[in-house]
């Protein structure tokens, strides 16, 4: 990659307006008052910019982008019980959503059944749906046209089991697996780096990820088996440039692991997708997307020698920043979300979820969820920003930011490589320290007033407005546990034990685990039981920072 240096056009120091400055973005880049041709003097429009839909895809992965097809309007359909979540999904589709994301409750995230003592008080938590068994997946997908709607599962350590349940339901309904579209987040690397909802050590976890990748490669060619997530890195405190660098490094690691298990790069790379967060710095967000497309395309083409142009495409789902929303003056969050969503569209996202304004206080209500959905529709149909592709191309400021993002990203790549690669860096505690340092610095800027958050540390109001909050069903957990107990009692226990023994044997070997998992969930083995057997075989990971 070329190294580009910005020249200071202004000369001398600038005296900031009281209460403003120093002028820096969230990645810490100092922002000049004016940008001009000298700031991109080493920029080659032909090799670094190109046209939309052409290598290196800086301007977008499709020639006509939103003129031909809008991004997928993907809203969150999970809530409490699988039956309630199913109703919510169908309501969102009626309102104009074109894709659905499904989060899991905390026990499911942690691989526990609802009747596990450690799950007490958490069933249906975190705005997620509780999935114990194939019966829950059936109820969740009831009435949902699986061969028409793209389903995104925000599932990670338990992804192999959730994918098995999804595949089993499709088979029961006569929907060919090759027609299923959607995404399994399945990004285990970022779990160790940021989200921390892992069970097993990194290397057996990577084996499970590769098993799901291989299975989808063979049987579900339209389904994205991994969505490499920067969102959770950013939510943990990573700066935008760290989110960019760490996410791409993780993506390249999955490419290398896929090649190691014998898959030709062009057989699976086109189905890898990404998940970014848009924060409040409008232009920094846009530059991040443009740099990501260029870095991914060049690296896949030059380093990994991918021949299929689809392998060069950085396809990304976006969610607005939940961590930037405030409980104080929550209606201000409507404006924050709209600005963030607009920057994602101008950045060229393929899919978008807009947060509800009340999410700092509770699970979204139907009113706030509808407003979040309408935000996307207004941008799509009323703002005019979809009329042309990459309208900010050629902006001295945007191109300089894009170049700077690329340069700083390369520095992180070299640092990670010096630590022995991504998995080695995880084991050495590199990411935990880097993200914690960034998070601390950001919070300190808010507390000392160097970074203004409207309604939080400036323009504060003593009387807060009343906001209607979502009221969860107080009987849901009790009913869920009773139902699960009855479900387990009625099963063929000999068949359950036989399937669990098979899962244990396959886990101890090297065969792909997915066929055994599909067989097990069809025999009514629960998620918690399967994960329990895997814990016995793989052990559990405990983070120790030695960096």
* DSSP designation for 471: -
Where does 237-382 have alpha helices with state H? Answer: 240-260, 265-268, 282-302, 332-347, 366-382
Residue 17 confidence (pLDDT) = 59
Give helix 240-260 / helix 396-418 axis angle, nearest 10°. 50
CB 438 within 8 A of CB 238: yes
Calpha distance 160→176 (Å, rounded): 19
Residue 9 confidence (pLDDT) = 45
For the chain (length 547 residues), average pLDDT per consecutive 10? 44 55 90 95 87 97 97 83 88 91 94 96 86 97 92 95 98 97 96 94 96 97 96 97 98 98 97 96 98 98 98 97 95 97 98 95 89 97 97 96 97 98 93 96 94 94 81 86 96 98 98 98 98 97 66
The set of residues, in sequence order, having a beta carbon less than 8 Å from that of 42 and lying 6+ positions away, is 2, 4, 5
Residue 45 confidence (pLDDT) = 86
Residue 76 confidence (pLDDT) = 82
Residue 19 confidence (pLDDT) = 53
Residue 199 confidence (pLDDT) = 95
Burial class (CB in 10 A: 0-12, 13-18, 19+), 222: middle
Calpha distance 316→197 (Å, rounded): 23
Residue 46 confidence (pLDDT) = 84
Residue 529 confidence (pLDDT) = 98
Residue 20 confidence (pLDDT) = 65
CB 205 within 8 A of CB 157: yes
| β-bridge partners, 229 | 275
Residue 194's CB: how many other CB atoms inside 10 A? Answer: 23
The set of residues, in sequence order, having a beta carbon less than 8 Å from that of 356 and lying 6+ positions away, is 364, 365, 368, 369, 371, 372
Helix H or strand E segment including 189: helix 188-190
Calpha distance 268→244 (Å, rounded): 22
């Amino acid at each position: 990659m070329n190294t580009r240096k910005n020249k200071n056009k202004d000369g001398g120091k600038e005296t900031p307006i009281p209460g403003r400055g120093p002028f820096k973005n969230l990645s810490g880049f100092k922002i000049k008052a004016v940008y001009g041709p000298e700031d991109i003097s080493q920029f080659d429009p032909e090799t670094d910019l190109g046209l939309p839909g052409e290598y290196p895809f800086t301007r977008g992965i499709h020639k006509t982008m939103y003129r031909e097809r809008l991004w997928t309007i993907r809203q969150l359909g999970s809530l409490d019980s699988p039956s309630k979540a199913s109703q919510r999904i169908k309501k969102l589709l009626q309102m104009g959503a074109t894709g659905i994301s499904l989060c899991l409750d905390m026990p499911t995230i942690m691989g526990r059944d609802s009747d596990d003592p450690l799950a007490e008080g958490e069933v249906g938590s975190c705005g997620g749906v509780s999935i114990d068994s194939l019966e829950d997946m059936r109820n969740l997908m009831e009435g949902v046209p699986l061969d028409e709607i793209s389903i995104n599962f925000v599932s990670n350590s338990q992804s192999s089991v959730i994918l098995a349940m999804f595949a089993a339901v499709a088979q029961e309904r006569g929907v060919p697996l090759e027609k299923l579209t959607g995404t399994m987040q399945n990004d285990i690397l970022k779990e160790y780096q940021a989200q921390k909802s892992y069970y097993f050590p990194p290397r057996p976890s990577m084996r499970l990820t590769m098993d799901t990748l291989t299975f989808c490669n063979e049987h579900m060619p339209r389904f994205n088996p991994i969505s490499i997530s920067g969102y959770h890195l950013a939510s943990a405190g990573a700066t935008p440039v760290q989110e960019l660098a760490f996410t791409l490094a993780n993506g390249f690691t999955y490419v290398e692991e896929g090649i190691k298990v014998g898959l030709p790069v062009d057989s699976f790379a086109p189905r890898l997708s990404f998940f970014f967060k848009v924060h409040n710095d409008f232009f920094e967000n846009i530059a991040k997307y443009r740099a990501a497309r260029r870095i991914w395309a060049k690296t896949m083409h030059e380093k990994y020698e991918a021949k299929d142009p689809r392998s060069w495409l950085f396809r990304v789902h976006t969610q607005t920043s939940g961590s930037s929303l405030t409980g104080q003056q929550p209606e201000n969050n409507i404006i924050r979300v709209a600005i963030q969503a607009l920057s994602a569209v101008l950045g060229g996202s393929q899919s978008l979820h807009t947060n509800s304004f009340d999410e700092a206080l509770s699970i979204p209500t139907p009113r706030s969820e509808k407003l979040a959905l309408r935000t996307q529709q207004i941008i799509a149909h009323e703002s005019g920003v979809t009329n042309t592709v990459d309208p900010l191309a050629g902006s001295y400021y945007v191109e300089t930011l894009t170049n700077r993002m690329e340069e700083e990203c390369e520095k992180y790549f070299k640092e990670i490589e010096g630590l022995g690669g991504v998995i080695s860096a995880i084991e050495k505690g590199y990411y935990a320290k880097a993200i914690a340092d960034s998070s601390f610095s950001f919070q300190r800027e808010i507390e000392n007033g160097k970074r203004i958050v409207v309604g939080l540390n400036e323009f504060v109001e003593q009387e807060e407005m009343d906001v209607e909050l979502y009221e969860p069903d107080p009987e849901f957990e009790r009913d869920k546990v009773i139902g699960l107990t009855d479900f387990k009692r009625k099963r063929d226990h000999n068949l359950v034990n036989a399937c669990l023994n098979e899962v244990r044997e396959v886990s101890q070997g090297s065969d792909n685990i997915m066929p055994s998992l599909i067989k097990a969930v069809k025999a009514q083995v629960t998620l918690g039981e399967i994960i329990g057997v895997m814990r016995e075989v793989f052990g559990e990971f405990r983070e120790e920072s030695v960096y």
